[in-house]
Amino acid sequence: MSRKEFRELSDPETAREAIASLDLRADDETAELASARGRVLSERVDATMDVPGFDRASVDGYALRARDTFGADEADPVRLTVVGEVHAGAEPAVEIGEGEAAEISTGAVVPPGADAVVMVERTDPDPDHDAVLVRTSLAPGDRIMFAGADIGAGERAVGPGTLLTSREIGLLSALGVDEVPVRGKPAVGIISTGDELVRPGERLRSEAGEIYDVNSYTTATAVEEAGGTPRLYPHAGDDYDAMESLLREAAEDCDLVLSSGSTSASAVDVIYRVIDEQGELLLHGVSVKPGKPMLVGRLDGSAYVGLPGYPVSALTIFRTFVAPAIRDAAGVPEPETATVDGAMAVRERYSEGRLRYMPVGLTTDVDGRTLVYPVDKGSGATTSLVEADGVVAVPPDVEYLEKGEEVEVTLFSPDIRPPTLFGAGEDDPAVSRLLDRIDRPRYLSSGSRQGLRRLRDGVTDVAIVTGDATLEDTTPIGEWSREWGLIVPQGNPDEVAGVADLVDRDLRFVNRTADSGLRATFEGVLDVVADDRDVERHEIAGSIEGFERSVRGHESPARNVLDGRADVGLGLRTTADTLGMGFVPCGDERVRALASDDRIEKPGVRAFAAAIDDGEALFDTLTGYRVEKA
């Protein structure tokens, strides 16, 4: 009896490299959102609308004008005439004037004229006068979630490589997305070899040495767990021609063919000969226990891996060598346990005397240590679900968690891992494209001001900021400029010439939020206009209809103009170009990426810096952008 000897056993790293060299990537697909859980995005999905799409009340109470409540308190309430009711899901039928209020439900559209909502607990009814007594003073914006406060039009919603869980499905649903581009699942053909095998459910003849087939089902389950699609094929015996036919059939249908058994060195081990003679043999035998007789090769354009025959050995080798390759092809992250220990990135105060399940996100420092930071954008914000990786249970008697204190995080999914890069700052289309080049980034479009704050507090790795703002213990890792101005309808029907027209003419304007660097740049131009006219800046701002009407996303003002809700919006030339709109240039704005000195050697930060440095072609695709080389 002749035998094929294992003359040179490969080391495990060589085996991994051999399997990594196989092309297991399936074609990308489009999946209906309802069935997309567990799939991996192949492309970035941006928000095409503001969420919420309207200014809405965040409490039950009364919609009113904040200035009508100035000076009100418990001892001296203000009386407002109740002019109607506004319910969730209904268009307001009232408009709030001076001295008036409307009863409003949580989630309802804030009626025209109102700029604040008082919670019902701070009021008393006055039925004799069809009025309500308000026992507190309010500021504009109190108890209102403004349009786009959750996520703004044009903002990066979820990026390529994102594993879709119920959190991401919820966010995409809020955006009206009904189908998504996803990575194809590698099709994996599974063949168990040996004349002694019987499928479960069939009659077993133990006296003839038959055994039930274990490997087909355990391997199929493991393939699914790794992100592949298993396909079971009939058992193969030890006949060369039959084996060749079966392997070729599976290779034609699948990206990867797995067999178990018949890879040892006996004369009946025909698979070795089929692959060696009809395909390409890359490896036969690995210096590892269990799993010495592993075989790696190609046949008819498909990848092939032969696993050991014993079930425990087959599963061990699959999980160690093959599963990572399938996960990589499918874009599925490495599995982790359902809990993880980490250190608080910031001090978190809590003194309500109740058990708290604190939503948290995960990041890492330069040494790979897990850091935990609180996530809180409000219970109505869908994006909180995406940013939060799990919860920390805070006992009732704990008033604060110190920075650096160890906590245990219960993960929402055992598949969750900290992002390789964590950033915050300006909402910028260039940043979205740069992040596409990074594996598992997380970025919060919170504006330049909040980006600097999070970087200063040691939560994020990088901040994207505009202008010349500086921060101690940080290093610039990239810089570019972007052209900004006023976005108008195509053809500029109102013949807007510049910022002065907003002040002097009756034009409806949409601004960006106060944390936005673009808003600060715009206000700098208003300072110049004010100086030229020898007036205060607030007078100039007060002359602009809609100056306080602010939205988060960089596309949001433009889309307000596109929908006819405004005449002019603050924005970027590239946004106007993308949406086919008119543009009135006002200047160029400097944008910088700052990295914490403590994290500048973190792999994700280095990768981001490299993406900026190598991104000249990327910036060329964005109208009005220019990359600044060091």
- Give the model's pLDDT for residue 94: 96
pLDDT at residue 45 tops 80: yes
Most confident of 13-27, 316-330, 587-601: 587-601
Query: What value does the mean pLDDT take over residues 317-337?
Result: 86
Q: What's the pLDDT tens digit per position in 565-613?
A: 999 999 999 999 999 999 999 999 999 999 999 999 999 999 999 999 9
**Looking at per-residue confidence, does 15 or 337 come out higher?**
15
Q: What's the pLDDT tens digit per position in 416-459?
A: 889 999 999 999 999 999 999 999 999 999 899 999 999 999 99
- Enumerate residues 6+ apart whose C-beta is below 8 A from 463: 423, 424, 425, 448, 451, 452, 454, 455, 471, 474, 593, 594
Q: What's the pLDDT tens digit per position in 140-168?
A: 999 999 988 888 899 999 999 998 999 89
Average pLDDT value over all residues in the chain? 89
C-alpha to C-alpha distance for 477 and 481, rounded to whole angstroms? 14
Pick the CATH number of 27-52+150-184 from 3.20.20.70, 3.90.105.10, 1.10.10.10, 2.40.110.10: 3.90.105.10
C-alpha to C-alpha distance for 472 and 353, rounded to whole angstroms? 37
CATH topology of domain 56-145: Molybdopterin biosynthesis moeA protein; domain 3 (2.170.190)
The residues pairing with 260 across neighbouring beta strands, listed in sequence order, are: 192, 307
pLDDT at residue 378 tops 60: no
Burial zone of 341 (CB within 10 Å; 0-12 exposed, 13-18 middle, 19+ buried): exposed
**Looking at per-residue confidence, does 236 or 430 come out higher?**
430
- Give the model's pLDDT for residue 318: 87
Amino acid at 212: Y
Lowest-confidence region among 109-113, 200-204, 319-323, 470-474: 200-204
Percent over 70 (pLDDT), the chain = 92
Task: Report the predicted TM-score, pTM, of the whole model to 2 decimal places.
Answer: 0.75
Instruction: Enumerate the domain spans of the chain.
Output: 12-25+186-330, 27-52+150-184, 56-145, 339-418, 448-628
Alpha-helical segments (H) within 82-178: 166-174
Query: What value does the mean pLDDT take over residues 270-297?
Result: 82
CATH of domain 448-628: 3.40.190.290
- Give the model's pLDDT for residue 630: 53
pLDDT at residue 299 tops 60: yes
3 state SS for 421-482: EEEEECCCHHHHHHHCCCCCEEEECCCHHHHHHHHHCCCCCEEEEECCCCCCCEEEEEEEEE
Place of tokens 């061990």: 316
CA distances from 565 to 150, 558, 569 (A): 20, 10, 10
pLDDT at residue 506 tops 70: yes
CATH topology agreement for domains 27-52+150-184 and 448-628: no
Helix, strand or coil for residue 417?
Answer: coil
- Give the model's pLDDT for residue 293: 76
Q: What's the pLDDT tens digit per position in 244-280?
A: 888 999 999 999 999 886 544 443 368 888 888 888 9
Lowest-confidence region among 328-342, 485-499, 553-567: 328-342
- Give the model's pLDDT for residue 301: 87
**Looking at per-residue confidence, does 262 or 563 come out higher?**
563
CATH topology of domain 339-418: Beta-clip (2.40.340)
Second-level CATH architecture of 12-25+186-330: 3-Layer(aba) Sandwich (3.40)
